[in-house]
Amino acid sequence: MEFGLTDEQLLLQRTARDFVARTCPVAVAQAWDEAATFPAELFTGMADQGWLGLALPEELGGGGGTAVELGIITEQLGHASLDVAMCFAGCLIPGLTVLRWGTDAQRERYLPAMLRGTGRFAIAMSEPDAGSDVAALRTRAVPGPDGFVLNGQKMWCTGAGLPGTTIALYARTDPSTQENGKHHGLSLLLVDPAAPGVRIQRTPTLARHILGTNEVFLDDVRVPADDLVGELHGGWKVLLSGLDLERVLMSAAYVGVAQATLDEMLAYSKTRSQFGRPIGTFQALAHAMADLQTDIDSARLLAQRAAWLHAHGRPCSRESAMAKLKGSETYVNAARWGMQILGGHGFATDSTMSFRWRESIVATISGGTSQIQRNAIARSMGLRCY
């Protein structure tokens, strides 16, 4: 049994660590978040490293990497912030969906721009009444001879308002759900946010301000037939195919940001003294940090196992759900302890710990809540679970 990374993977890890230290240490990520700045240079920097094309095939200019290498980069970017890590992972996941399910023309149109860091994707699945139960989505795309006419509303569409973004949007193309079940009759469309009838409105949130989350209103939007990805009415299969990778990469991001959070509180606990000794020597705090490091190592192993299975084309829905669950809950717990160990210093809104804490709240919600991950794991154990 081999637990280590290869020499090439270790080099990639070091390169990503140096990239974060040079371009986006946590203080920079926090400043971007507080100013809601879109750092175009972050994307071009990642493109210069060859990371945005790492998982594309060589004929498209890519590096032929797998979920393992993507996870290594995502974990290191997580040391900057969750949002920085998701700038990388969140854009890649729909890009790889286009690679797998798209036509040659779609691949040629969208993927080279993604590889250069000038083109991005946002995913629009969620709606006001379709969150955890995403298959209940109601946005309607009526197929016609020239393409589709789209009407409805999307919510929480991360990055939809950024320049160079295409919205990968799931809509109902066949409304006869009573007959076939709600998972049938969905399709994936690539929507230009500048198309007539699209209106994007940013949702004020506690954190994740770099990419930003948005409501997307669709009013008689015309989508050309060429912008259908995969089979008409076959969108559920396409959506599921992206979910495992999303959980794998999100769990890597949580591991990175949880480790950075622990590193910060550990360093503080060694220099801050009360009652004549460093606070880290009080057993109550030392044990909490020992438990956190144990949880982070467990989360890392789960994330790496899920990435390895994905890279080898093996089923990993259960394993990626476990990795997402453990990683997100570990990060939330780490941020909570970070606030406690830094005492009043953490509560100051300009502290990096308060930024970690603000960002952590969403980890157990977006990308499928903790309850939904537990449901998936329980079902894989043969339990009926709603």
Ligand X SMILES: Cc1cc2nc3c(=O)[nH]c(=O)nc-3n(C[C@H](O)[C@H](O)[C@H](O)COP(=O)(O)OP(=O)(O)OC[C@H]3O[C@@H](n4cnc5c(N)ncnc54)[C@H](O)[C@@H]3O)c2cc1C
Catalytic residues: 246
296 touches ligand X by CB under 6 A:
no
DSSP string, 63-117: ----HHHHHHHHHHHHTT-HHHHHHHHHHHHHHHHHHHHS-HHHHHHHHHHHHHT
Interface mask toward ligand X for 80-119; x: CB under 6 A:
----------------------------------------
Q: Using the rule CB under 6 A, is 386 a contact of ligand X?
A: yes
Give least dist CB 155 to ligand X, A: 7
Of the listed pieces 50-58, 67-75, 339-347, 370-378, which binds ligand X according to CB under 6 A?
A: 370-378
Which lies closer to ligand X via its Cβ, residue 125 or residue 316?
Answer: 125
| Cβ distance to ligand X smaller for residue 120 or 300 | 120
234 binding ligand X? (CB under 6 A): no
- By CB under 6 A, the count of residues binding ligand X is 22
Closer residue to ligand X, CB minimum distance, 161 or 338 = 161
DSSP state of 233: T
Nearest to 259 by CA among 74, 87, 88: 74
CB contact at 8 A, 341 and 351: no
Find residue 127's DSSP bridge partners: 130
Q: Does residue 158 touch ligand X according to CB under 6 A?
A: yes
Yes or no: say if 79 and 16 are a contact pair by the CB < 8 Å rule. no
Q: How far is the CB of 139 from ligand X (least distance, A)?
A: 11
Residue span binding ligand X (CB under 6 A) among the ranges 14-22, 97-105, 153-161, 318-326: 153-161
Candidates 375, 377, 378, 380; binder of ligand X (CB under 6 A) is 375
DSSP 8-state class, residue 335: H
- CB nearer to ligand X: give 107 or 209: 209
- Gyration radius from the chain CA atoms: 21
| Residue whose CB is nearest to ligand X in the complex, by number | 131
**How many C-beta atoms lie closer than 10 Å to residue 143's C-beta?**
16
Per CB under 6 A, does 368 bind ligand X? yes
* Distance set, CA 62 to CA 49, 114, 115, 305, 375 (Å): 11, 11, 8, 24, 36
For the segment 347-366, give every residue that binds ligand X (CB under 6 A): 362, 365-366
Residues 6+ apart with CB under 8 A from 50: 63
Work out whether 275 is an interface residue with ligand X (CB under 6 A): no
Query: Are 120 and 110 in contact, with CB atoms under 8 Å apart?
Result: no
**What single-letter amino acid sits at 181?**
G
| Candidate list 6, 37, 132, 201; residue touching ligand X; CB under 6 A | 132
Report the alpha-carbon distance of residue 135 to residue 19 in Å, rounded: 39
Give residues with Cβ within 8 angstroms of 344, minimum separation 6. none
Does the footprint of ligand X cover residue 214 (CB under 6 A)? no
Closest approach, Cβ 161 to ligand X, in A, equals 12
Decide: is 157 part of the binding site for ligand X (CB under 6 A): yes
Residues that bind ligand X (CB under 6 A): 123-126, 131-132, 156-158, 205, 208, 213, 362, 365-369, 371-372, 375, 386
